[in-house]
Amino acid sequence: MVEYILGNYLVETGKITKEQLTETLEKQDSVRVKLGLIAVAEGMMTLSQTEEVNRLQAVMDKRFGDIAVSKGYLTDEQIGKLLKKQGDAYMTFIQTLIDSELITMSEIDVYLENFRTSKGFSISELDALKSDQIERIVPLFIPEAGKKFSEVIVVAVKTLLRLFDRHIYVEDAQMVHAFPAEGQVSQALVGEDGIITCLSELDGALLKLAQVFGQEDFPALDMDALDAAGETLNCINGLYASSESRNGKFLELMPPDYDDVTIKAKTTICRIPIFVGDKGLYFTVADLV
């Protein structure tokens, strides 16, 4: 997820093109992150130290870590920590950008800081984004009034990652008082702290989800397609209800509803856009009143 969020920022700021981002995302599955990049990102080495080690590697038959330890730049314990981060999504994305000569190591911190300030994130929130942990990332994009819905939104994103597509990312959620729900499926969860959730079309992702989950090439978002999307929503809500039951709260799932009506609530509604590539859908949640 982090690679899409940061990648879109680089496109918006003109650092890279949309086509270059697509190529980078396609390449990164085959990229192995260099220890030097991780060491600099983690503040364990300076850029000049990694460049020195890289020069020594060119004339010595030794690994980066062995040279860094012999120079006193790293300890064996630190090498172990760096090795564990070689599969890190954020690091892999940055390494792919560097390998493609789209960004330099010295530019990384500048763009990260500009991104952080543009989003109003704290340093710890930026670290949460870089962790690529859904439960830490998603709340960053939910306004304070919608924080109480964070758990069900996290469940929704995790479920879509598992059942729909692993290339998913979110953008800023909005609080609204009414949501015109054409081309949508909703479901009520009745009980203590009951809620209503909804999956609706934004620009093509709900139809794509229905095709994947229903294993059928639906030509349009008709009732058959919405029924397949409803099964996905039922999975999301079932997992959320199970999680809540372990906390002593019991919610009963009502049958999915496919009526094209405007969802209204006495309290505000939290609506978060979820994207797969260029296609998006909305996950909406509100208190059941």
Q: Is the confidence at residue 174, as pLDDT, over 90?
A: yes
Q: Is the dihedral of CA 257, 261, 267, 273 positive or negative?
A: positive
According to the model, what pLDDT value does residue 265 have?
60
Q: Kindly report, residue by residue over 144-154, the tens digit of the pLDDT.
A: 999 999 999 99
Average pLDDT over residues 59-83: 87
Asked which of 66-80, 157-171, 253-267 is least confident by mean pLDDT, the reply is 253-267
Tell whether 25 and 159 lie within a shared domain: no
Contact, 230 vs 195, CB < 8 A? no
Tell whether 116 and 142 lie within a shared domain: no
Q: Kindly report, residue by residue over 73-128, the tens digit of the pLDDT.
A: 999 888 888 887 777 888 899 999 998 999 998 899 899 999 999 999 999 999 99
Q: Which helix (H) or strand (E) holds 279?
A: strand 279-287
Contact, 131 vs 137, CB < 8 A? yes
Q: Calculate what percentage of the chain has a pLDDT beyond 90.
A: 58
Among residues 72, 103, 134, the one where a domain terminates is 134
Tell whether 112 and 232 lie within a shared domain: no
Tell whether 257 and 278 lie within a shared domain: yes
Among residues 134, 157, 175, the one where a domain terminates is 134
According to the model, what pLDDT value does residue 85 have?
77
According to the model, what pLDDT value does residue 182 have?
64
Q: Kindly report, residue by residue over 234-263, the tens digit of the pLDDT.
A: 999 999 999 999 888 899 999 998 876 566
According to the model, what pLDDT value does residue 180 have?
63
Listed in sequence order, the residues at least 6 apart from 232 whose beta carbon sits closer than 8 Å to its beta carbon are 159, 160, 163, 164, 199, 209, 210, 213
Tell whether 156 and 126 lie within a shared domain: no
Among residues 88, 107, 134, the one where a domain terminates is 134
Dihedral over alpha carbons 128, 133, 137, 138 (to 10 degrees): -160
Tell whether 181 and 94 lie within a shared domain: no
Which CATH number fits the domain that encloses residue 259? 3.40.1550.10
Average pLDDT over residues 4-31: 91
For every residue of 90-112, DSSP letters joined together read HHHHHHHHHHTTSS-HHHHHHHH
Average pLDDT over residues 187-200: 91
Tell whether 55 and 155 lie within a shared domain: no
Tell whether 76 and 218 lie within a shared domain: no
Q: Is the confidence at residue 9, as pLDDT, over 90?
A: yes
Q: Is the confidence at residue 132, as pLDDT, over 70?
A: yes
Tell whether 81 and 92 lie within a shared domain: yes
What is the span of the domain harbouring residue 252? 137-287
Tell whether 141 and 107 lie within a shared domain: no
Q: Calculate what percentage of the chain has a pLDDT beyond 70.
A: 96
Cα-based distances in Å from 279 to 164, 167, 190: 13, 11, 31
Average pLDDT over residues 34-63: 85
Q: Which helix (H) or strand (E) holds 158?
A: helix 150-163
Tell whether 201 and 232 lie within a shared domain: yes
Q: Is the confidence at residue 283, as pLDDT, over 80?
A: yes
Average pLDDT over residues 51-68: 86
How many independent structural domains does the chain possess? Answer: 2
According to the model, what pLDDT value does residue 43 have?
85
Tell whether 143 and 11 lie within a shared domain: no
